[in-house]
Structure 1
């Protein structure tokens, strides 16, 4: 994806909506796109102040990753390889499916996408046998997801899906023109043509006939963007609403008698764990440290109020039958 940090003049992508194509504008969410675009924060975290709480909480986990390779997947203009920001087909797209496709990307496409990001020469982690580089990229992204995204993804996905619902409501109430204008100041719909002003010098116009136009909200972009090649499926990425609230601690309401019995944090945990969650996710939601949450979770599990199970690299906790009974009695 070609999204420079400093605007350059002349970049314009135009998608022609004709006939039934107007009804074929769809929204979708891409976990791999979020994962890839988040790599921009590695280079310039100060440009993404809304995500600083997340960067602090995942700092230790990132230290164990293939940071050199992950950083090489962006450049100083914050471009990323197009094949790692694929057009998703649903608001429920799965990361495993997208990574599987990335692991099969043709090597000539891989070479061209990497050179587009680094036209003056590839960084050392991206040099060498292309098949080896392809496998290393997928492995590094998978490890990055497990360490830094999986615990937070339910929360991220909720914000993204809420944005999709909002845009649909705007389109229904005020029309497609108002919906497109609300996505970004860089996007307009005029006479059946969607125009996206880009920071790159890319310029092309193409119809969406037979393919439709996919709109993808993301938490890691500061402006609208689109593929730089007319050969790519018609796609527009735009900043999702609500990103500013993503890392705020959530107030958890627990019955007063339960708070008196267990204390505020443990009562909040018991009320929250109707669905499985990791200690990292719970720490972010409650606004406390991971070590503190782990101490409470171990004590509550020992008391029979919680059950736990390993999922990948994370341990997920869930309220037990005894915990359900205690919460029900308190309510």
Structure 2
């Protein structure tokens, strides 16, 4: 069962060995975003972070007459738990939804279980005929993805990859303590132990050499969801990425006239927009420029030492250098 961590509650101490630290990794999960976003639509966004997205998506789902009941009844709100079998941790850094749905369809019957109140009967129906019911569930998720998530996925993926890059740099600079020091008040690191505040449980968990999987998630905000059981899957934390507040924003960010006078308006806007690492495609979408034009500007900014390029999988992310950061502060 995937449980939620909040700023109040019991503390779970996650003990790391050297092998656990060596096996700690990052991944993104399209399937998790589907499930977490349905939770938002069910009322799991009490602070309104995703209101703009929800207002856009709800009419589209209604127009398509997509019945989310088979999926939504597996997601209990306000009970803040998600059945583990529904969101198995990804085994590769950037799996496609198709890959994750194939794993869902192949879930062994013995893993179809939950202790979430009100959900046991739904899981019982899945266990009665897992081949058929899991297939229907996967088809529903695929249809929902095309309407509600796919149009926004490049934006979300850029946010996730930028966060992973940021935290990888922290890990290289200062080890595990530096890696975990800005996950928020739910998470602290102390002497080889990661302390996670959870609403309903406390105690000590050992990773047993499996390491910890860290999954940035847009729709988890402001919570941290954890699956620390000793079952078939790697222990996992799903957490809100840096910059989540900008995810649904529209329009370019302002830049100073002084900077535009030196670099030109488009290049100054690009530099100002790089508050977080982003791809050429994402920057072009945000600023209303052509991808080719953005690429040329980024090449010039990189040659001048104002931005750096970092490849993550198939995507190249651009980030401001220290010189670029200093220039953006010019007013």
TM range (shorter): 0.5 to 0.7
> 1:235-282 CA deviation, whole Å, 9 max, x = no partner?
1111111111111113399xxxxxxxxxxxxxxxxxxxx969xxxxx7
Equivalent residue pairs, number: 256
- Matched residue SS, 2:50: helix
**Mapped contact 2:7–2:185 kept (Cα < 8 A):** no
Instruction: Give the Cα–Cα distance (whole angstroms) in 2 for the partners of residues 204 and 156 of structure 1.
Output: 33
Is 1:234 equivalent to 2:235 in the alignment?
yes
Q: Which runs of 5+ in 1 are unaligned?
A: 254-273, 277-281, 288-331
Unaligned segments of structure 2, at least 5 residues: 255-279, 289-331
Cα deviations by residue, 1:141-182 (Å, 9 ceiling, x for unpaired):
111111111111111100011110111122222332132131
Mapped to 1, the partners of 2:44 and 2:83 lie a distance apart of: 20
Instruction: Name the CA shift for 1:78/1:18 in 2 (closer, same or farther; >3 Å).
Output: closer
2:157 counterpart residue number: 157
Which digits, 9 at most, give the CA deviation of each residue in 1:288-327, with x for residues without a partner?
xxxxxxxxxxxxxxxxxxxxxxxxxxxxxxxxxxxxxxxx
8 Å Cα contact 1:103-1:138 kept in structure 2:
yes
Deviation of residue 228 (structure 1)?
A: 5.0
1:95 aligns with 2:97: yes
Task: Give the Cα separation in 1 of the matches to 2:76 and 2:205.
Answer: 26
- d(CA) in 1 for partners of 2:216 and 2:123? 32
Q: State the SS of the aligned residue for 2:239.
A: strand
Alignment partners' CA distance in 1, 2:170 and 2:48: 28
Report the alpha carbon displacement of residue 104 of structure 1 after superposing the two structures with TM.
0.6
Residue correspondence of structure 1 range 182-201 to structure 2 within 5 A: 182-201=182-201
Q: TM-score, normalised by structure 1?
A: 0.68
1:32 CA displacement: 0.9
Match of 1:136?
136
1:129–1:61 CA distance, 2 compared to 1 (3 A): farther
SS at match of 1:135: helix
Query: Quick check: 1:69–1:126 contact (8 Å CA) kept in 2?
Result: no
Structure 2 CA distance, aligned partners of 1:237 and 1:5? 10
Which whole-Å CA distance do the structure 2 matches of 1:151 and 1:100 have between them? 22
TM-score (norm 2): 0.68
C-alpha distance in 2 between matches for 1:124 and 1:213: 27
Match of 1:213 in 2: 212
Paired residues of 1:225 and 1:236 also in contact (CA < 8 A): yes
SS in 2 for 1:89: coil
CA distance in 2, matches of 1:247, 1:130: 40
Between the aligned partners of 1:145 and 1:125, the Cα distance in structure 2 is 25
Cα offsets for 1:87-131 (capped at 9, x unmatched) = 223332211111000001012312x13xx2235752599578332
Alignment partners' CA distance in 2, 1:241 and 1:152: 17
Residue 152 of structure 1 aligns to a residue in which SS? helix
> Aligned to 2:188, what secondary structure does the other structure show?
strand
Is 1:52–2:54 an aligned residue pair? no
Q: Assess, with a 3 A threshold, how the Cα gap between structure 1 residues 89 and 129 changes in structure 2: closer, same or farther.
A: closer
Separation (CA, whole Å) in 1 of partners of 2:6 and 2:195: 19
Summarize the Cα distance change of 1:82–1:173 in structure 2 as closer, same or farther, 3 Å threshold.
same
Task: Give the Å deviation of 1:83.
Answer: 1.8
Shift of 1:47: 1.5
CA RMSD of aligned residues (A): 3.1
What is the rounded CA distance, in whole Å, between the counterparts of 1:189 and 1:6 in structure 2? 16
Alpha-carbon separation, structure 1, partners of 2:202 and 2:111: 19
